[in-house]
Chain A
Amino acid sequence: MSEPPARTVVDALEPWPDTVTWRPLSSRLIAVHLIGVATWTVVLLGGLLAGRIIGGQTAWLWGMAAVVVLGLWRAGVAVRAVRAWGYAERDNDLLVRHGLVVRHLSIVPYARMQYVDVTAGPLERAFGLATVQLHTAAAASDARVPGLPPDEAARLRDRLTALGEDRAEGL
């Protein structure tokens, strides 16, 4: 209900900056993403190196250079993507924003929640992170918050379920 500010200050990543306090993701998620990127880069480099040793053409070296450049670019994107991700808990709904190229902002009311998922992959677990995802009856709604410390994830999950029960109506 806030008066929308003038167009010049509106940023796709910061809607309603006055009324909503956005919380960032853990910066350890950057490390998780970087490790993922590095793994792929190393695997591809290994393959290309094997090709170079067996085949011996110079093209393999160009390929390796391209893979390194691509890996660096993806690392930069990963860092910025994690920084672009944010969530905010308002009184009645959860806000999640993410995306660099295509920017998304989801507003999911707690009352519409069907269930909450908390997942953690092996790499995420090693860094002490977890992902919380809120599901509604609509398949299209995406409210996924990755890279939360376990206690924060548990707190968010408990708060979401508690609020969902309070305001339960489902459909």
Chain B
Amino acid sequence: MSDTGPPAPSGPAPEIEPRRRLHPLSPLLKGAKSIVVIVAALSWQTLGQIGPTDFALIVLALAVGVVIFSAVGWWNTGYHVVARELRITEGLVWRRNRAIPLDRLQAVELRRPLLAQLSGLAELRLEVVGGNKAEAPLAYLTVRDAATLRERLLALSGRAAPVDTAGPDQPAGAAPLYRVRNHDLLISQLLTPQAIFLPFGVAWVAAQFLLEGSWTFIGIASTVTAMAGVLLQPIRRVLRDWDFQLAREGGERLVLHYGLTETRSQVVPPRRVQAVRVTWPFLWRAKGWMRLRMDIAGLSGPDPGDDKSSDRLMPVGDLPTARALVAAALPGVDLATLATSPPPPRARLLHPFGLRFLGAGLAADVFVSRSGRVTRETTLIPYARMQSVRVVQGPVQRRLGLATVYADTAGGHAGAAHDRPLAEAYAIADQLALRARRARATPVGAGGGGASPVADGSAAPVAETFWQPPGRP
């Protein structure tokens, strides 16, 4: 049962269950998705050239082809759970068998695009380390099947006992932690540069048209397209973060649920959050709002296109909410008490403007780094999740006797203490390595995460919140 290494088909006979197929409607859904792509590829120009009847026929023929192709793929796709692995087989010509060890599972997400919502289906995505994208999207299953499979996978992925029995006070129910107010979400997305500058852009373009007096169809159409493109990101964010809810289930695991046209429901087992990033956009400062994102290994690659990835912890909220959510994602961390110290004044040469807003600090459980003058960002990296520490010194930094310390995480975003004096940089690096080791040594045997704040507090070497430079007298 624990032996997952060699395949040994005859050995663990009672564990092998029959391979199951995805839902029979999935090829149709996938086909429907590609019709949009086909129409876009054929473009309106083609429609004008060949007339609507032929156009419809071409689209229909291509769609039928796609559906047949998807159906063949569906017939050859199967999944089953063997011991503590999920095995997925796919492909007709190029067969692909993949085994996903479930103890490496980082998060499970249940996605329901619009069409899937209408037909009662869902897509199950597993996040494992080492993949830039979801390694195993199972599209589509019925919602009930997907939910059962998810529970089963999560139970198998737990290192200790299943989560349901481990929770001391909340046996199965979810404790809601946070729910975004859709009103705030709308306003927060109106308070983005794109939305703020849009009226000026429209006015400018309209003035151009009025002055030249040429109201061509192409001109207006391209203007409208450009406006839509500019507004696409805020609109997408509103649609995606609509009705965002966060709850804590069982012992420690986080359950997220959000989305309007495409609903996503994500389960993050405990101790899978690699980093938490807090962002204060400039335009939100008057409202006192901020945004929280969490890095999960395998989920958030280093690519900046963050619209697809689901790494939200809080789309918009104020400081008390953010404190509560940070404490939920990283137990024992209080956002309001994380002090940092700025680089020395001689680093001004490297940062003429934002020097005051740079900073780094070693808190009890997390490494804190701040940056950004206009859009302020704070990165919290728990010592226990740190992968490696680097000290880098460029030529200018060497002149000034400075160095930058990086704390690498599996989430792709490194925390950085920029431009510290060299001796302090080495001291920070040394402390980071030491604290990472201690933090790792403590919580592994602790089972559930409920006791971890106390345990971490007693095990942390010094509970200093403010980093003391080592050159003190």
Interface, chain A (partner B; CB < 8 A) = 1-7, 10, 12, 15-16, 92-93, 101-109, 111-112, 114, 136-143, 169-171
Contacts and interface: CB of A to CB of B under 8 A. Distances in A.
B233 interface: no
Interface string B422-442: 111011011111101100100
Contacts of A102: 392-395
Contacts of B410: 136-138, 171
A10 B427 CA distance: 11
B426 to A, nearest CB: 5
A165 to B, nearest CB: 14
Nearest to A137: B410
B390 A4 contact: no
A1 B434 contact: yes
Interface stretch (B187-195, B220-228, B237-245, B381-389): B381-389
15 contacts: A2-B430, A12-B393, A16-B430, A92-B433, A92-B437, A101-B395, A107-B391, A108-B387, A138-B408, A140-B406, A141-B388, A143-B388, A171-B106, A171-B272, A171-B410
* Residue from A16, A104, A106, A137 having most chain B Cβ neighbours under 10 A: A137
A102 to B, nearest CB: 5
B437 A109 contact: yes
B388 A109 contact: yes
B433 A107 contact: yes
B423 A5 contact: yes
B67 interface: no
A38 B89 CA distance: 51
Contacts of B73: none
B392 A103 contact: yes
Interface of B: 104, 106, 129-130, 272, 274, 297, 302, 385-395, 398, 401, 403, 406, 408-410, 412, 414, 421-424, 426-427, 429-434, 436-437, 440, 444, 470-471
Given A12-B398, A142-B390, 16 more contacts: A1-B430, A7-B401, A10-B422, A15-B426, A103-B393, A104-B393, A105-B429, A107-B432, A108-B388, A137-B387, A138-B388, A138-B408, A138-B412, A141-B387, A141-B388, A171-B104
Contacts of B426: 4, 10, 15-16
Contact of A104 (B391, B409, B440): B391
A113 B27 CA distance: 41
B68 to A, nearest CB: 40
A4 B469 CA distance: 10
A139 B398 CA distance: 26
B429 A7 contact: no
Q: Interface residues of B: mostly helix, strand, loop or mixed?
A: mixed
Nearest to A13: B393
Contacts, number: 120
A7 B385 CA distance: 31
A106 B388 contact: yes
B214 to A, nearest CB: 52
A109 to B, nearest CB: 6
A135 to B, nearest CB: 10
Contacts of A10: 422-423, 426
A78 B346 CA distance: 32
A171 B392 contact: no
The 3 closest A-B pairs by CB, nearest first: A141-B388, A137-B410, A138-B387
Contacts of A101: 394-395
A44 to B, nearest CB: 27
B408 A171 contact: no
A171 B384 CA distance: 9
B309 to A, nearest CB: 16
A63 B471 CA distance: 52
A141 B434 contact: no
Contact of A106 (B302, B389, B430): B389
Contacts of B421: 7
A136 B440 contact: no
Contact of B414 (A111, A140, A169, A170): A140
* Residue from B272, B390, B424 having most chain A Cβ neighbours under 10 A: B390
Nearest to A102: B394
A109 B436 contact: yes
Contacts of B412: 138-140
B126 to A, nearest CB: 15
A4 B392 contact: no
Contacts of A139: 302, 412
B391 A140 contact: no
* Residue from A6, A10, A15, A171 having most chain B Cβ neighbours under 10 A: A171
Given A106-B390, A137-B130, A140-B414, A4 B409 contact: no
Contacts of B409: 138
A6 B211 CA distance: 70
Given A4-B426, A137-B130, A103 B398 contact: yes
B422 A7 contact: yes
Nearest to A15: B426
Nearest to A141: B388
Given A7-B421, A7-B423, A7-B471, A104 B433 contact: no
A136 B297 CA distance: 12
B213 to A, nearest CB: 56
Contacts of B302: 139
A4 B393 CA distance: 18
Contacts of A2: 430
Contact of A136 (B104, B408, B427, B433): B408
Contacts of A142: 390
Contacts of B398: 12, 103
Nearest to B431: A1
Contacts of B431: 1
A164 to B, nearest CB: 13
